[in-house]
Amino acid sequence: MTGNYHQLTLAEVRPGMVLSDVLLDVQGHVLLPQGTVLTEAMLALMPRHGISVLPIVRAAVTPEMVAATLEHHDARIAHLFRKNDADSDSDWATATLRRFVTDFRLGVEETPEHE
């Protein structure tokens, strides 16, 4: 394995992270090669193959990387909700869904209303 990696549990791994080594299943068969950029679909299939921990490349996160990721999520949300006017009150259900997706993707913490 490369020296610049860390072991993360499946719950800690996010789409876009990169494998630092070849990923083998419990029988020793190659599931994914080193350097694979993980997707949501790949991560969903890991439990079927007995994978609970993954070797992930340890990357230095720069402010530029964070800004690019947020910009990507913002553009993706705009594309997904392109037929919905965010300022219109006529479709409250879609507006609420858009707000929840935006908060989730951009990492907005929920604040309790009643404490």
| Contacts of 31 by beta carbon, 8 Å cutoff, 6+ apart | 23, 24, 25, 49, 51
DSSP string for residues in 56-115: EE--PPPHHHHHHHHHHHHHHHHHHTTTS-TT-SS-HHHHHHHHHHHHHHTTPPP--S--
Overall average pLDDT of the 81-101 stretch: 83
| Residue 114 confidence class, pLDDT cut points 50, 70, 90 | very low
Q: How far is CA 73 from the centre of its chain?
A: 10
CATH no., domain 5-57 = 3.90.105.10
pLDDT exceeds 50 at position 16: yes
**Residue ranges of domains in the chain:** 5-57, 63-105
pLDDT confidence band for 108 (50 / 70 / 90): low
